[in-house]
Every structure is written in C-alpha cells, then in structure tokens.
C-alpha cells in the first residue's frame, strides 16, 4: 500500500531492495518526495516518534544547501561543485541553484545508494553535471572517476559539499575521508558542511528505527543506513 506521492513497492529500480530503508529515501520522504518505499516511510515515522522535529530539520538542511550554493556561486565566484552524499533529486538541486546564480556551473553528484543512480536523469543537465555511484569514504575513486576529471578542474576554485551526510559515517572513517579530501583538494577547495551531533550528557539512548542499524555503514549495495554518534566537540 502506498500513500500520496509514494513509490509502489513493485516499481523497483535495478539494484534496490525496497524492504531495506536507506537514508536517501527516508530523507526524500521527509521532504515530501515520492521516490521512497513502505520501509522508508515506516522508518521515517519511527524517527519522527523519537524526534518530532526531524521533518523540520530535513527541510532546514535543504534550505541551508540552497543558500550555501547560491552564495558560493553568486558571491564567491565558484563554478564547480562536488556534492558528496547528494541524495535523491528534489526541488532546488545543486545544479539548478548553481546555474541560476552563475551560468556554466558544473556539478558532480556522489552517492552510494543505487536509488540515486537510478534517478540520475533528473540530476543531469546537459554536459555540465554527472552522477557517480561511489562511497565518500573512497576519495581516491571519486577523484579518479572519468566524470570527475571531465567536469572538475582541480587547479580552479571548487566547492566540496558535505551536507547532511557525515553523521552517517562512523569514526575513524569520517575523519580519514575528510582528511583525504582536504589533503588532495587544498588549496583550491571551499568546504561546506552541515551535520548532526549528539549531546554527550543525554541520558537515554533511543532505539534505532526498525531496519536501521547503528555503527559502521554496511558496504554492501542496498544496505540500510546507520547513524554515527559524534559529540559536538569532535566535529
């Protein structure tokens, strides 16, 4: 059974397991999108029971992304963007915001969820955008990808976007990945990050939603998301 604006479970893109919720599809549901399955909606509703403000947080994340990209393109003069953990297409995608602010902007989207690759057409705009299915914990593969080489000139200013993704990556993986990107892309890159954190003094640890695991993100395709609990002073 599906609700308004939802994807029937019998319309499954290749490589996608509709029974396993993913961060990209849960986020899509929270934003009012239609590229999600029953398992994603159930997980999102469970998250809302634990944190009733989660829908507002998702919308605030998206609004922040739009403001940041608009500033970087219009005010900072940046014309190329690397969006790590891009998620599913929705209103105000990075290439749309960037192109509206600066003609000729180029965007490489990166996500490890096969659902994102299945909807890549909605994230493409001529020859100035590309979608790569890759894990942000593998910067070498991302930077060596032919589409990255085609669209990103590492000698020119570049915006690297870590928006609403790092809290899904556990330590030490997240530190190693960010350090690698910083080492290889400095000094050309401008870094844009928005992430979640937990308060160390919080007494009660809420249970994870059904189908969503804590700890390291599984490296198998189609696996559900995990949540990394990082204290504020470690971010």
pLDDT tens, 66-114? Answer: 999 999 999 999 999 999 999 998 888 999 999 999 999 999 999 999 8
Q: How confident is the model at residue 149 (pLDDT cuts 50, 70, 90)?
A: very high
Please tell me whether the overall predicted TM-score, pTM, comes out greater than 0.85 for this model. Answer: no
pLDDT of residue 145: 97
> Domains of the chain by range and CATH?
15-196+211-228 (3.40.50.150)
**What are the structure tokens assigned to 28, written together?**
């899509």
Please check the confidence at residue 203 and state whether its pLDDT lies above 60: no
CB atoms within 10 A of CB 222: 15
Asked whether the beta carbons of 213 and 226 are under 8 A apart, the reply is yes
Please check the confidence at residue 120 and state whether its pLDDT lies above 70: yes
3-state DSSP assignment of residue 78: coil
Least confident range from 52-66, 84-98, 132-146, 218-232: namely: 218-232
pLDDT of residue 187: 84
Q: How confident is the model at residue 200 (pLDDT cuts 50, 70, 90)?
A: very low
pLDDT of residue 139: 95
Please check the confidence at residue 218 and state whether its pLDDT lies above 50: no
Say which DSSP state 161 is in. E
Asked whether the beta carbons of 113 and 23 are under 8 A apart, the reply is yes
**Burial level of 64, CB count in 10 A (0-12/13-18/19+)?**
middle
3-state DSSP assignment of residue 83: strand
CA distance 49 to 35: 22
pLDDT 10s digits, 20-58? 999 999 999 999 998 899 999 999 999 999 999 999 999
**What are the structure tokens assigned to 146, written together?**
């032919």
CA distance 70 to 231: 30
Please check the confidence at residue 6 and state whether its pLDDT lies above 90: no
pLDDT of residue 201: 44
Please check the confidence at residue 61 and state whether its pLDDT lies above 60: yes
Asked whether the beta carbons of 128 and 155 are under 8 A apart, the reply is no
Considering the chain, what percentage of its residues have pLDDT values greater than 70? Answer: 77
Asked whether the beta carbons of 168 and 226 are under 8 A apart, the reply is yes
Q: How confident is the model at residue 207 (pLDDT cuts 50, 70, 90)?
A: low
**What are the structure tokens assigned to 130, written together?**
């590309």
Q: How confident is the model at residue 190 (pLDDT cuts 50, 70, 90)?
A: very high
Mean pLDDT of the chain: 82
Could you list the beta-strand ranges (E) of the chain: 80-84, 106-111, 129-133, 158-163, 189-194, 213-214, 226-227
């Amino acid at each position: 059974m599906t609700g308004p604006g939802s994807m029937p479970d019998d319309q499954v893109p290749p490589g996608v397991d509709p029974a396993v919720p993913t961060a990209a599809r849960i986020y899509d549901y929270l934003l009012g999108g239609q590229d999600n399955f029953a398992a994603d909606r159930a997980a999102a509703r469970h998250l809302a029971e634990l944190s009733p403000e989660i829908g507002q947080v998702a919308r605030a994340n998206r609004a922040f992304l739009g403001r940041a990209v608009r500033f970087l393109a219009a005010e900072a003069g940046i014309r190329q963007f690397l969006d790590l953990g891009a998620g599913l297409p929705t209103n105000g995608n990075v290439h749309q915001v960037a192109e509206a602010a600066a003609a000729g902007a180029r965007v490489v989207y990166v996500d490890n969820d096969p659902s994102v690759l299945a909807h890549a057409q909605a994230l493409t705009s001529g020859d100035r955008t590309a979608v790569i299915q890759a894990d942000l914990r593998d910067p070498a593969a991302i930077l060596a990808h032919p589409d990255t080489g085609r669209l990103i000139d590492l000698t020119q200013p570049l915006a690297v976007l870590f928006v609403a993704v790092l809290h899904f990556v556990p330590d030490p993986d997240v530190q190693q990945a960010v350090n690698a990107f910083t080492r290889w892309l400095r000094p050309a890159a401008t870094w844009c990050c928005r992430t979640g954190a937990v308060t160390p003094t919080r007494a009660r640890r809420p249970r994870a939603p059904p189908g969503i695991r804590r700890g390291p993100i599984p490296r198998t395709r189609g696996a559900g998301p995990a949540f990394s609990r990082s204290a504020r002073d470690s971010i």
